[in-house]
Structure 1
Protein backbone atom coordinates (compact mmCIF):
# COMPACT_ATOMS: atom_id res chain seq x y z
CA UNK A 1 0.00 0.00 0.00
CA UNK A 2 1.31 3.43 -0.94
CA UNK A 3 2.13 5.89 1.80
CA UNK A 4 0.00 9.06 2.09
CA UNK A 5 2.86 11.12 0.64
CA UNK A 6 3.18 8.85 -2.38
CA UNK A 7 -0.58 8.89 -2.84
CA UNK A 8 -0.66 12.68 -2.75
CA UNK A 9 2.22 13.09 -5.20
CA UNK A 10 0.65 10.57 -7.54
CA UNK A 11 -2.64 12.46 -7.44
CA UNK A 12 -0.90 15.76 -8.22
CA UNK A 13 1.00 14.20 -11.10
CA UNK A 14 -2.25 12.80 -12.49
CA UNK A 15 -3.93 16.19 -12.28
CA UNK A 16 -1.12 17.74 -14.27
CA UNK A 17 -0.97 15.00 -16.90
CA UNK A 18 -4.69 14.87 -17.64
CA UNK A 19 -5.48 18.54 -16.94
CA UNK A 20 -8.65 17.63 -15.04
CA UNK A 21 -10.26 20.49 -13.08
CA UNK A 22 -7.69 22.96 -14.46
CA UNK A 23 -8.78 26.60 -14.27
CA UNK A 24 -5.64 28.40 -15.43
CA UNK A 25 -3.44 28.19 -18.52
CA UNK A 26 0.24 29.12 -18.66
CA UNK A 27 1.42 29.92 -22.17
CA UNK A 28 5.03 30.03 -23.29
CA UNK A 29 5.49 30.28 -27.03
CA UNK A 30 3.78 27.31 -28.63
CA UNK A 31 3.38 25.41 -25.37
CA UNK A 32 0.32 25.60 -23.17
CA UNK A 33 0.12 24.20 -19.65
CA UNK A 34 -3.25 23.52 -18.04
CA UNK A 35 -2.71 24.15 -14.34
CA UNK A 36 -4.75 24.74 -11.19
CA UNK A 37 -4.92 28.06 -9.38
CA UNK A 38 -5.09 26.41 -5.97
CA UNK A 39 -1.78 24.65 -6.62
CA UNK A 40 0.08 27.37 -8.52
CA UNK A 41 -1.06 30.49 -6.66
CA UNK A 42 -0.35 29.00 -3.25
CA UNK A 43 3.28 28.47 -4.27
CA UNK A 44 4.07 31.66 -6.17
CA UNK A 45 3.66 35.29 -5.17
CA UNK A 46 3.45 36.34 -8.81
CA UNK A 47 0.71 33.92 -9.81
CA UNK A 48 -1.20 34.66 -6.62
CA UNK A 49 -1.16 38.39 -7.38
CA UNK A 50 -2.06 37.89 -11.03
CA UNK A 51 -5.10 35.79 -10.21
CA UNK A 52 -6.24 37.60 -7.05
CA UNK A 53 -6.15 41.16 -8.38
CA UNK A 54 -8.41 42.48 -11.18
CA UNK A 55 -5.90 41.94 -13.98
CA UNK A 56 -6.67 40.57 -17.41
CA UNK A 57 -4.95 37.31 -16.43
CA UNK A 58 -7.49 36.70 -13.67
CA UNK A 59 -10.37 37.34 -16.06
CA UNK A 60 -9.07 35.40 -19.06
CA UNK A 61 -7.49 32.59 -17.07
CA UNK A 62 -4.39 32.77 -19.29
CA UNK A 63 -0.94 33.89 -18.19
CA UNK A 64 1.51 34.50 -21.02
CA UNK A 65 5.18 33.85 -20.18
CA UNK A 66 6.42 33.84 -23.76
CA UNK A 67 9.21 36.28 -22.89
CA UNK A 68 10.74 33.75 -20.48
CA UNK A 69 12.99 30.84 -21.33
CA UNK A 70 10.75 27.94 -22.48
CA UNK A 71 12.86 25.29 -20.76
CA UNK A 72 12.84 27.15 -17.46
CA UNK A 73 9.07 27.63 -17.65
CA UNK A 74 8.56 23.93 -18.27
CA UNK A 75 10.72 23.00 -15.27
CA UNK A 76 8.85 25.52 -13.13
CA UNK A 77 5.48 24.02 -14.03
CA UNK A 78 6.79 20.52 -13.41
CA UNK A 79 8.01 21.60 -9.99
CA UNK A 80 4.52 22.73 -9.02
CA UNK A 81 3.24 19.17 -9.41
CA UNK A 82 6.30 16.98 -8.83
CA UNK A 83 8.35 19.01 -6.32
CA UNK A 84 11.29 18.40 -8.63
CA UNK A 85 12.54 18.93 -12.14
CA UNK A 86 14.99 17.19 -14.42
CA UNK A 87 14.32 13.89 -12.74
CA UNK A 88 17.00 11.36 -13.62
CA UNK A 89 15.90 9.29 -16.60
CA UNK A 90 16.95 5.83 -17.66
CA UNK A 91 20.67 5.76 -18.34
CA UNK A 92 21.92 4.98 -21.79
CA UNK A 93 23.59 1.83 -20.54
CA UNK A 94 20.34 0.54 -19.06
CA UNK A 95 18.42 1.39 -22.21
CA UNK A 96 21.00 -0.41 -24.30
CA UNK A 97 20.73 -3.45 -22.08
CA UNK A 98 16.96 -3.39 -22.25
CA UNK A 99 17.09 -3.20 -26.04
CA UNK A 100 19.48 -6.13 -26.14
CA UNK A 101 17.30 -8.21 -23.81
CA UNK A 102 14.03 -7.22 -25.40
CA UNK A 103 12.51 -9.97 -27.54
CA UNK A 104 11.20 -7.34 -29.95
CA UNK A 105 14.55 -5.76 -30.63
CA UNK A 106 16.50 -7.21 -33.56
CA UNK A 107 19.56 -9.06 -32.41
CA UNK A 108 22.77 -8.18 -34.13
CA UNK A 109 23.88 -11.17 -36.17
CA UNK A 110 27.29 -12.51 -35.26
CA UNK A 111 29.83 -12.14 -38.00
CA UNK A 112 30.83 -15.41 -39.60
CA UNK A 113 34.39 -16.52 -39.23
CA UNK A 114 36.56 -15.69 -42.24
CA UNK A 115 37.16 -18.69 -44.42
CA UNK A 116 40.92 -18.18 -44.41
CA UNK A 117 42.89 -17.43 -41.29
CA UNK A 118 46.34 -18.00 -39.91
CA UNK A 119 46.86 -21.62 -38.90
CA UNK A 120 49.95 -20.65 -36.97
CA UNK A 121 47.72 -19.47 -34.12
CA UNK A 122 45.88 -22.82 -33.88
CA UNK A 123 47.20 -25.30 -31.32
CA UNK A 124 46.32 -28.49 -33.14
CA UNK A 125 48.18 -31.82 -32.50
CA UNK A 126 47.90 -32.80 -36.15
CA UNK A 127 49.46 -29.55 -37.28
CA UNK A 128 52.26 -30.03 -34.75
CA UNK A 129 52.94 -33.54 -36.13
CA UNK A 130 53.01 -32.18 -39.69
CA UNK A 131 55.46 -29.50 -38.65
CA UNK A 132 57.69 -32.11 -36.98
CA UNK A 133 57.60 -34.27 -40.11
CA UNK A 134 58.50 -31.29 -42.25
CA UNK A 135 61.46 -30.54 -40.03
CA UNK A 136 62.67 -34.14 -40.40
CA UNK A 137 62.04 -34.71 -44.11
CA UNK A 138 62.73 -31.22 -45.42
CA UNK A 139 60.38 -28.40 -46.28
CA UNK A 140 56.90 -29.35 -47.31
CA UNK A 141 55.55 -28.46 -50.73
CA UNK A 142 53.17 -25.53 -50.38
CA UNK A 143 49.60 -26.84 -50.69
CA UNK A 144 47.38 -25.74 -53.52
CA UNK A 145 44.54 -23.32 -52.94
CA UNK A 146 41.96 -26.12 -52.92
CA UNK A 147 43.99 -28.04 -50.39
CA UNK A 148 44.30 -24.93 -48.23
CA UNK A 149 40.52 -24.48 -48.25
CA UNK A 150 40.08 -28.11 -47.14
CA UNK A 151 42.64 -27.65 -44.37
CA UNK A 152 40.92 -24.46 -43.27
CA UNK A 153 37.57 -26.22 -43.12
CA UNK A 154 39.05 -29.13 -41.15
CA UNK A 155 40.82 -26.83 -38.77
CA UNK A 156 37.67 -24.82 -38.13
CA UNK A 157 35.86 -27.98 -37.04
CA UNK A 158 38.65 -28.75 -34.56
CA UNK A 159 38.58 -25.31 -32.97
CA UNK A 160 37.14 -25.13 -29.46
CA UNK A 161 33.71 -23.60 -29.12
CA UNK A 162 34.89 -20.13 -28.02
CA UNK A 163 33.30 -16.72 -28.60
CA UNK A 164 35.87 -15.71 -31.19
CA UNK A 165 33.16 -14.34 -33.43
CA UNK A 166 32.12 -11.95 -30.68
CA UNK A 167 35.73 -10.84 -30.30
CA UNK A 168 35.86 -9.91 -33.98
CA UNK A 169 32.37 -8.44 -33.77
CA UNK A 170 33.17 -5.45 -31.57
CA UNK A 171 36.10 -3.64 -30.12
CA UNK A 172 36.26 -4.02 -26.32
CA UNK A 173 37.55 -0.46 -26.03
CA UNK A 174 34.35 0.79 -27.65
CA UNK A 175 32.33 -0.83 -24.87
CA UNK A 176 34.55 0.75 -22.23
CA UNK A 177 34.10 4.16 -23.83
CA UNK A 178 30.32 3.75 -24.01
CA UNK A 179 30.15 2.70 -20.36
CA UNK A 180 32.33 5.63 -19.32
CA UNK A 181 30.13 8.08 -21.21
CA UNK A 182 27.00 6.54 -19.69
CA UNK A 183 28.42 7.01 -16.19
CA UNK A 184 29.01 10.72 -16.79
CA UNK A 185 25.94 12.65 -15.72
CA UNK A 186 25.19 15.74 -17.74
CA UNK A 187 25.60 18.69 -15.38
CA UNK A 188 22.80 20.98 -16.71
CA UNK A 189 24.56 23.92 -15.05
CA UNK A 190 23.00 26.51 -17.35
CA UNK A 191 19.56 24.99 -16.87
CA UNK A 192 19.83 25.13 -13.09
CA UNK A 193 20.90 28.76 -13.30
CA UNK A 194 17.89 29.57 -15.49
CA UNK A 195 15.50 27.79 -13.15
CA UNK A 196 16.99 29.66 -10.20
CA UNK A 197 16.40 32.95 -12.00
CA UNK A 198 12.80 32.19 -12.93
CA UNK A 199 12.08 31.03 -9.38
CA UNK A 200 13.34 34.35 -8.07
CA UNK A 201 11.38 36.29 -10.68
CA UNK A 202 8.06 34.63 -9.86
CA UNK A 203 8.55 34.28 -6.12
CA UNK A 204 8.85 30.50 -5.73
CA UNK A 205 11.21 30.01 -2.78
CA UNK A 206 11.08 26.21 -2.79
CA UNK A 207 12.09 26.00 -6.44
CA UNK A 208 14.81 28.59 -5.92
CA UNK A 209 16.31 26.58 -3.07
CA UNK A 210 16.13 23.37 -5.09
CA UNK A 211 17.80 24.96 -8.12
CA UNK A 212 20.63 26.28 -5.96
CA UNK A 213 21.22 22.83 -4.44
CA UNK A 214 21.29 21.21 -7.86
CA UNK A 215 23.61 23.91 -9.21
CA UNK A 216 26.02 23.61 -6.27
CA UNK A 217 26.09 19.82 -6.45
CA UNK A 218 26.68 19.69 -10.19
CA UNK A 219 29.30 22.43 -10.33
CA UNK A 220 31.27 20.65 -7.63
CA UNK A 221 31.26 17.45 -9.65
CA UNK A 222 31.68 19.04 -13.09
CA UNK A 223 33.81 22.15 -12.56
CA UNK A 224 35.77 21.14 -15.68
CA UNK A 225 32.61 21.02 -17.78
CA UNK A 226 32.43 23.14 -20.96
CA UNK A 227 29.16 24.49 -19.55
CA UNK A 228 30.93 26.27 -16.70
CA UNK A 229 31.66 29.63 -18.42
CA UNK A 230 28.12 30.04 -19.72
CA UNK A 231 26.68 28.96 -16.38
CA UNK A 232 28.77 31.59 -14.57
CA UNK A 233 27.57 34.25 -16.98
CA UNK A 234 23.96 33.11 -16.51
CA UNK A 235 24.31 33.27 -12.74
CA UNK A 236 25.63 36.84 -12.80
CA UNK A 237 23.51 38.28 -15.59
CA UNK A 238 20.11 36.98 -14.42
CA UNK A 239 20.37 37.87 -10.73
CA UNK A 240 20.82 41.11 -8.83
CA UNK A 241 24.05 41.88 -6.97
CA UNK A 242 22.47 41.28 -3.58
CA UNK A 243 21.34 37.76 -4.50
CA UNK A 244 24.28 35.62 -3.41
CA UNK A 245 22.60 32.25 -4.01
CA UNK A 246 24.51 31.22 -7.13
CA UNK A 247 27.26 33.80 -7.00
CA UNK A 248 28.71 32.45 -3.77
CA UNK A 249 28.73 28.98 -5.31
CA UNK A 250 30.64 30.26 -8.33
CA UNK A 251 33.20 32.15 -6.21
CA UNK A 252 33.71 29.13 -3.97
CA UNK A 253 34.31 26.96 -7.04
CA UNK A 254 37.03 29.30 -8.31
CA UNK A 255 38.56 29.42 -4.84
CA UNK A 256 38.65 25.62 -4.59
CA UNK A 257 39.91 25.16 -8.16
CA UNK A 258 42.09 28.14 -9.11
CA UNK A 259 43.23 26.38 -12.29
CA UNK A 260 39.83 27.16 -13.78
CA UNK A 261 40.93 30.75 -14.36
CA UNK A 262 43.57 29.55 -16.82
CA UNK A 263 41.01 28.16 -19.25
CA UNK A 264 40.54 30.20 -22.42
CA UNK A 265 36.75 29.82 -22.41
CA UNK A 266 36.59 30.95 -18.80
CA UNK A 267 38.81 33.92 -19.56
CA UNK A 268 36.45 34.95 -22.36
CA UNK A 269 33.46 34.70 -20.03
CA UNK A 270 35.25 36.82 -17.44
CA UNK A 271 35.94 39.52 -20.04
CA UNK A 272 32.25 39.59 -20.99
CA UNK A 273 30.93 39.51 -17.41
CA UNK A 274 32.20 42.50 -15.39
CA UNK A 275 30.49 41.43 -12.19
CA UNK A 276 32.21 38.06 -12.23
CA UNK A 277 35.59 39.57 -13.06
CA UNK A 278 35.33 42.16 -10.29
CA UNK A 279 34.43 39.62 -7.63
CA UNK A 280 37.18 37.24 -8.75
CA UNK A 281 39.62 40.15 -8.54
CA UNK A 282 38.54 40.86 -4.96
CA UNK A 283 38.83 37.19 -4.10
CA UNK A 284 42.36 37.01 -5.54
CA UNK A 285 43.29 40.16 -3.58
CA UNK A 286 42.05 38.68 -0.33
CA UNK A 287 39.17 41.13 -0.08
CA UNK A 288 35.65 40.14 1.01
CA UNK A 289 33.21 39.39 -1.77
CA UNK A 290 29.90 38.48 -0.14
CA UNK A 291 29.64 41.85 1.63
CA UNK A 292 29.49 43.85 -1.60
Structure 2
Protein backbone atom coordinates (compact mmCIF):
# COMPACT_ATOMS: atom_id res chain seq x y z
CA UNK A 1 0.00 0.00 0.00
CA UNK A 2 1.37 3.40 -0.97
CA UNK A 3 1.86 6.14 1.58
CA UNK A 4 -0.90 8.16 -0.11
CA UNK A 5 -3.36 5.24 0.13
CA UNK A 6 -2.44 4.66 3.74
CA UNK A 7 -2.97 8.32 4.60
CA UNK A 8 -6.36 8.31 2.88
CA UNK A 9 -7.50 5.22 4.79
CA UNK A 10 -6.41 6.75 8.07
CA UNK A 11 -8.33 9.93 7.28
CA UNK A 12 -11.41 7.89 6.35
CA UNK A 13 -11.20 5.91 9.58
CA UNK A 14 -10.84 9.13 11.57
CA UNK A 15 -14.03 10.50 10.01
CA UNK A 16 -15.87 7.39 11.12
CA UNK A 17 -14.46 7.42 14.64
CA UNK A 18 -15.13 11.10 15.26
CA UNK A 19 -18.51 11.13 13.55
CA UNK A 20 -17.69 14.31 11.65
CA UNK A 21 -19.96 15.06 8.67
CA UNK A 22 -22.07 11.92 9.09
CA UNK A 23 -25.34 12.11 7.17
CA UNK A 24 -26.89 8.65 7.45
CA UNK A 25 -27.54 5.89 9.96
CA UNK A 26 -27.63 2.12 9.54
CA UNK A 27 -29.53 0.35 12.32
CA UNK A 28 -29.54 -3.39 12.89
CA UNK A 29 -30.42 -5.12 16.13
CA UNK A 30 -28.60 -3.45 19.01
CA UNK A 31 -26.40 -1.35 16.72
CA UNK A 32 -26.90 2.06 15.15
CA UNK A 33 -23.99 3.12 12.94
CA UNK A 34 -23.51 6.75 11.94
CA UNK A 35 -22.01 6.73 8.45
CA UNK A 36 -21.44 8.84 5.36
CA UNK A 37 -23.64 8.26 2.31
CA UNK A 38 -20.82 8.84 -0.15
CA UNK A 39 -18.61 6.26 1.57
CA UNK A 40 -21.14 3.43 1.72
CA UNK A 41 -22.65 4.11 -1.71
CA UNK A 42 -19.20 4.10 -3.32
CA UNK A 43 -18.78 0.50 -2.14
CA UNK A 44 -22.34 -0.84 -2.18
CA UNK A 45 -24.83 -0.28 -5.01
CA UNK A 46 -27.57 -1.51 -2.69
CA UNK A 47 -27.49 1.68 -0.63
CA UNK A 48 -27.70 4.03 -3.63
CA UNK A 49 -31.51 3.93 -3.68
CA UNK A 50 -32.28 4.25 0.06
CA UNK A 51 -29.75 7.04 0.37
CA UNK A 52 -31.44 8.99 -2.41
CA UNK A 53 -34.03 11.69 -1.98
CA UNK A 54 -36.77 9.63 -3.64
CA UNK A 55 -36.90 7.18 -0.74
CA UNK A 56 -38.13 7.73 2.80
CA UNK A 57 -34.84 6.41 4.17
CA UNK A 58 -32.94 9.06 2.26
CA UNK A 59 -35.16 11.82 3.63
CA UNK A 60 -35.05 10.46 7.17
CA UNK A 61 -31.33 9.75 7.01
CA UNK A 62 -31.74 6.26 8.43
CA UNK A 63 -32.28 2.70 7.27
CA UNK A 64 -33.22 -0.16 9.58
CA UNK A 65 -32.05 -3.63 8.60
CA UNK A 66 -34.18 -6.33 10.17
CA UNK A 67 -32.08 -8.40 12.55
CA UNK A 68 -32.30 -12.16 12.36
CA UNK A 69 -34.35 -13.89 15.03
CA UNK A 70 -32.37 -16.80 16.45
CA UNK A 71 -35.61 -18.70 17.04
CA UNK A 72 -36.96 -18.69 13.50
CA UNK A 73 -33.61 -18.24 11.72
CA UNK A 74 -35.04 -16.28 8.81
CA UNK A 75 -32.22 -16.20 6.26
CA UNK A 76 -33.67 -13.01 4.72
CA UNK A 77 -32.76 -11.09 7.88
CA UNK A 78 -29.33 -9.89 8.94
CA UNK A 79 -26.94 -10.87 11.68
CA UNK A 80 -26.11 -7.63 13.56
CA UNK A 81 -22.50 -8.71 14.11
CA UNK A 82 -22.03 -9.34 10.39
CA UNK A 83 -23.46 -5.90 9.63
CA UNK A 84 -21.07 -4.41 12.18
CA UNK A 85 -18.14 -6.01 10.35
CA UNK A 86 -19.48 -4.78 7.00
CA UNK A 87 -19.66 -1.20 8.25
CA UNK A 88 -16.17 -1.57 9.69
CA UNK A 89 -14.97 -2.71 6.26
CA UNK A 90 -16.45 0.36 4.59
CA UNK A 91 -13.98 2.51 6.51
CA UNK A 92 -11.03 0.22 7.27
CA UNK A 93 -11.07 -2.18 4.28
CA UNK A 94 -10.76 -5.06 6.71
CA UNK A 95 -12.53 -6.58 9.69
CA UNK A 96 -11.65 -8.77 12.65
CA UNK A 97 -14.20 -11.34 13.75
CA UNK A 98 -13.95 -12.80 17.22
CA UNK A 99 -16.64 -14.95 18.82
CA UNK A 100 -15.57 -15.17 22.43
CA UNK A 101 -17.87 -15.45 25.40
CA UNK A 102 -16.73 -13.44 28.37
CA UNK A 103 -17.04 -13.91 32.08
CA UNK A 104 -19.29 -11.65 34.11
CA UNK A 105 -16.19 -10.10 35.65
CA UNK A 106 -14.82 -9.15 32.25
CA UNK A 107 -18.20 -7.85 31.08
CA UNK A 108 -18.45 -5.61 34.13
CA UNK A 109 -15.40 -3.71 32.92
CA UNK A 110 -17.51 -2.38 30.08
CA UNK A 111 -20.62 -1.31 31.91
CA UNK A 112 -21.45 2.29 30.95
CA UNK A 113 -21.14 5.03 33.55
CA UNK A 114 -24.20 7.02 34.56
CA UNK A 115 -25.98 9.15 31.94
CA UNK A 116 -24.46 7.38 28.94
CA UNK A 117 -25.81 6.28 25.59
CA UNK A 118 -24.58 3.62 23.23
CA UNK A 119 -22.01 4.83 20.73
CA UNK A 120 -21.65 1.95 18.22
CA UNK A 121 -18.87 3.71 16.33
CA UNK A 122 -16.58 2.77 19.19
CA UNK A 123 -17.06 -0.96 18.66
CA UNK A 124 -14.93 -0.95 15.53
CA UNK A 125 -11.83 -0.01 17.49
CA UNK A 126 -11.72 -3.29 19.39
CA UNK A 127 -10.08 -6.49 18.21
CA UNK A 128 -12.92 -8.68 19.42
CA UNK A 129 -16.69 -8.51 19.29
CA UNK A 130 -17.50 -8.39 22.98
CA UNK A 131 -17.30 -4.79 24.24
CA UNK A 132 -19.08 -1.75 22.94
CA UNK A 133 -18.13 1.89 23.30
CA UNK A 134 -20.06 4.57 25.08
CA UNK A 135 -20.14 8.33 25.12
CA UNK A 136 -21.55 10.56 27.81
CA UNK A 137 -24.61 12.72 27.32
CA UNK A 138 -22.75 15.64 28.79
CA UNK A 139 -21.99 18.04 25.97
CA UNK A 140 -18.39 18.30 24.92
CA UNK A 141 -17.18 15.27 26.85
CA UNK A 142 -16.70 11.74 25.59
CA UNK A 143 -15.63 8.67 27.49
CA UNK A 144 -14.94 5.43 25.64
CA UNK A 145 -14.08 2.06 27.06
CA UNK A 146 -12.12 -0.48 25.05
CA UNK A 147 -10.79 -3.97 25.57
CA UNK A 148 -7.09 -4.53 25.88
CA UNK A 149 -6.26 -5.74 22.37
CA UNK A 150 -3.26 -7.71 23.66
CA UNK A 151 -5.25 -9.71 26.22
CA UNK A 152 -8.72 -10.54 24.94
CA UNK A 153 -11.09 -12.11 27.45
CA UNK A 154 -10.91 -15.86 27.78
CA UNK A 155 -13.92 -18.19 27.59
CA UNK A 156 -15.17 -19.04 31.05
CA UNK A 157 -15.73 -22.75 30.47
CA UNK A 158 -14.87 -25.56 28.07
CA UNK A 159 -18.15 -25.20 26.17
CA UNK A 160 -17.43 -21.55 25.42
CA UNK A 161 -13.87 -22.45 24.48
CA UNK A 162 -15.17 -24.96 21.94
CA UNK A 163 -17.52 -22.41 20.44
CA UNK A 164 -14.71 -19.88 19.96
CA UNK A 165 -12.20 -22.30 18.45
CA UNK A 166 -13.52 -22.56 14.89
CA UNK A 167 -11.38 -19.73 13.54
CA UNK A 168 -14.58 -17.66 13.30
CA UNK A 169 -15.59 -19.81 10.33
CA UNK A 170 -19.30 -19.21 10.86
CA UNK A 171 -18.91 -15.46 11.34
CA UNK A 172 -16.88 -15.17 8.13
CA UNK A 173 -19.70 -17.02 6.35
CA UNK A 174 -22.23 -14.55 7.76
CA UNK A 175 -20.10 -11.58 6.70
CA UNK A 176 -19.85 -13.05 3.22
CA UNK A 177 -23.65 -13.44 3.09
CA UNK A 178 -24.07 -9.79 4.09
CA UNK A 179 -21.56 -8.72 1.45
CA UNK A 180 -23.51 -10.64 -1.21
CA UNK A 181 -26.85 -9.22 -0.11
CA UNK A 182 -25.60 -5.63 -0.03
CA UNK A 183 -23.43 -5.96 -3.14
CA UNK A 184 -20.04 -5.26 -1.57
CA UNK A 185 -17.76 -7.17 -3.95
CA UNK A 186 -14.47 -6.38 -2.20
CA UNK A 187 -15.86 -7.64 1.11
CA UNK A 188 -17.07 -10.81 -0.60
CA UNK A 189 -13.53 -11.58 -1.70
CA UNK A 190 -12.09 -10.84 1.72
CA UNK A 191 -14.70 -12.82 3.68
CA UNK A 192 -14.38 -15.73 1.26
CA UNK A 193 -10.62 -15.84 1.79
CA UNK A 194 -10.99 -15.64 5.57
CA UNK A 195 -13.62 -18.39 5.49
CA UNK A 196 -11.36 -20.65 3.39
CA UNK A 197 -8.45 -20.12 5.78
CA UNK A 198 -10.65 -20.89 8.81
CA UNK A 199 -12.13 -24.00 7.18
CA UNK A 200 -8.73 -25.37 6.23
CA UNK A 201 -7.65 -25.38 9.87
CA UNK A 202 -10.97 -26.02 11.60
CA UNK A 203 -12.80 -28.39 9.25
CA UNK A 204 -13.36 -30.88 12.09
CA UNK A 205 -15.06 -28.30 14.31
CA UNK A 206 -18.69 -28.78 15.31
CA UNK A 207 -19.68 -25.53 13.60
CA UNK A 208 -18.77 -26.81 10.12
CA UNK A 209 -22.35 -28.04 9.72
CA UNK A 210 -23.60 -24.52 10.49
CA UNK A 211 -21.18 -23.14 7.90
CA UNK A 212 -22.66 -25.51 5.30
CA UNK A 213 -26.18 -24.24 5.95
CA UNK A 214 -25.11 -20.60 5.78
CA UNK A 215 -23.18 -21.17 2.56
CA UNK A 216 -26.12 -22.82 0.82
CA UNK A 217 -29.07 -20.93 2.28
CA UNK A 218 -27.90 -17.31 2.25
CA UNK A 219 -26.22 -17.02 -1.16
CA UNK A 220 -27.48 -17.59 -4.73
CA UNK A 221 -26.65 -20.84 -6.51
CA UNK A 222 -24.23 -19.20 -8.91
CA UNK A 223 -22.16 -17.56 -6.20
CA UNK A 224 -19.46 -20.07 -5.31
CA UNK A 225 -17.53 -17.91 -2.84
CA UNK A 226 -18.32 -20.21 0.10
CA UNK A 227 -19.72 -23.28 -1.61
CA UNK A 228 -16.51 -24.24 -3.40
CA UNK A 229 -14.64 -24.14 -0.09
CA UNK A 230 -17.31 -26.31 1.55
CA UNK A 231 -17.19 -28.84 -1.31
CA UNK A 232 -13.40 -28.99 -1.37
CA UNK A 233 -13.26 -29.38 2.41
CA UNK A 234 -15.74 -32.24 2.43
CA UNK A 235 -14.08 -33.88 -0.56
CA UNK A 236 -10.68 -33.61 1.12
CA UNK A 237 -11.95 -34.88 4.47
CA UNK A 238 -14.53 -37.62 3.74
CA UNK A 239 -14.55 -38.59 7.43
CA UNK A 240 -16.84 -35.59 7.91
CA UNK A 241 -19.59 -37.69 6.33
CA UNK A 242 -19.56 -39.82 9.48
CA UNK A 243 -20.86 -36.85 11.45
CA UNK A 244 -24.63 -36.76 11.79
CA UNK A 245 -24.68 -32.95 11.89
CA UNK A 246 -22.72 -32.67 8.64
CA UNK A 247 -24.83 -35.29 6.88
CA UNK A 248 -28.00 -33.55 8.02
CA UNK A 249 -26.78 -30.24 6.61
CA UNK A 250 -25.62 -31.92 3.40
CA UNK A 251 -29.01 -33.56 2.84
CA UNK A 252 -30.74 -30.21 3.23
CA UNK A 253 -28.63 -28.70 0.43
CA UNK A 254 -27.08 -29.59 -2.93
CA UNK A 255 -23.81 -30.46 -1.24
CA UNK A 256 -24.00 -34.26 -1.53
CA UNK A 257 -24.54 -34.13 -5.27
CA UNK A 258 -21.69 -31.68 -5.73
CA UNK A 259 -19.27 -33.78 -3.67
CA UNK A 260 -20.34 -36.91 -5.57
CA UNK A 261 -19.38 -35.20 -8.84
CA UNK A 262 -15.99 -34.31 -7.41
CA UNK A 263 -15.46 -37.93 -6.33
CA UNK A 264 -15.76 -38.90 -10.02
CA UNK A 265 -13.25 -36.25 -11.05
CA UNK A 266 -15.91 -33.86 -12.33
CA UNK A 267 -16.45 -30.18 -11.48
CA UNK A 268 -18.69 -29.70 -8.44
CA UNK A 269 -21.42 -28.21 -10.64
CA UNK A 270 -22.38 -28.98 -14.22
CA UNK A 271 -21.93 -26.40 -16.94
CA UNK A 272 -25.22 -24.71 -17.84
CA UNK A 273 -26.89 -26.26 -20.85
CA UNK A 274 -26.84 -24.17 -24.00
CA UNK A 275 -30.21 -24.00 -25.71
CA UNK A 276 -30.21 -25.45 -29.20
CA UNK A 277 -30.26 -22.72 -31.82
CA UNK A 278 -33.33 -22.75 -34.02
CA UNK A 279 -33.38 -20.84 -37.29
CA UNK A 280 -36.13 -19.91 -39.69
CA UNK A 281 -35.99 -22.01 -42.90
CA UNK A 282 -37.04 -19.05 -45.02
CA UNK A 283 -34.89 -16.17 -43.80
CA UNK A 284 -32.35 -17.88 -41.56
CA UNK A 285 -33.09 -15.60 -38.61
TM-score by length of 2: 0.65
CA contact (8 A) 1:189 1:218 kept: yes
Structure-2 residue corresponding to 1:208: 188
Structure-2 residue corresponding to 1:77: 87
Q: Aligned equivalents of 1:84 and 1:72: distance in 2?
A: 13
Q: Aligned equivalents of 2:209 and 2:20: distance in 1?
A: 42
- Helix, strand or coil: the match of 1:95? coil
Specify the structure having the higher radius of gyration (Cα).
Answer: 1
Task: Say yes or no: does 1:259 pair with 2:269.
Answer: no
Structure-2 residue corresponding to 1:223: 203
Relative to its length, the structure with more helix (as a share) is 1
How far off its partner does 1:24 sit? 0.5
Structure-2 residue corresponding to 1:281: 260
CA contact (8 A) 1:248 1:290 kept: no
- Helix, strand or coil: the match of 2:25? strand
How far off its partner does 1:93 sit? 11
CA contact (8 A) 1:200 1:208 kept: yes
Structure-2 residue corresponding to 1:134: none
2:213 to 202, 223, 233: 233
- Helix, strand or coil: the match of 1:219? helix
How far off its partner does 1:52 sit? 3.1
* Cα distance change on mapping 1:194 and 1:94 into 2, 3 Å: closer
Q: What do residues 139-182 of structure 1 show as CA deviations (whole Å, max 9, x unaligned)?
A: xxxxxxxxxxxxxxxxxxxxxxxxxxxxxxxxxxxxxxxxxx8x
TM-score by length of 1: 0.63
* Cα distance change on mapping 1:26 and 1:5 into 2, 3 Å: same
How far off its partner does 1:287 sit? 4.3
Structure-1 residue corresponding to 2:105: none
How far off its partner does 1:94 sit? 5.4
Q: Aligned equivalents of 1:93 and 1:196: distance in 2?
A: 25
CA contact (8 A) 1:244 1:290 kept: no
Q: Aligned equivalents of 1:203 and 1:43: distance in 2?
A: 8
CA contact (8 A) 2:85 2:97 kept: no
Q: Aligned equivalents of 1:42 and 1:95: distance in 2?
A: 35
Task: Say yes or no: does 1:9 pair with 2:9.
Answer: yes
Computed over aligned residues only, the root mean square deviation of the Cα atoms, in angstroms, reads 3.0
Task: Say yes or no: does 1:95 pair with 2:74.
Answer: no
Higher relative contact order (CA 8 A, sep 6+): 1
* Cα distance change on mapping 1:93 and 1:32 into 2, 3 Å: closer
Q: Aligned equivalents of 2:61 and 2:189: distance in 1?
A: 28
Bigger Cα displacement from structure 2, 209-218 vs 278-287: 278-287
CA contact (8 A) 1:235 1:246 kept: yes
How far off its partner does 1:219 sit? 0.7
- Helix, strand or coil: the match of 2:178? helix
* Cα distance change on mapping 1:87 and 1:31 into 2, 3 Å: closer
Q: Aligned equivalents of 1:192 and 1:14: distance in 2?
A: 25
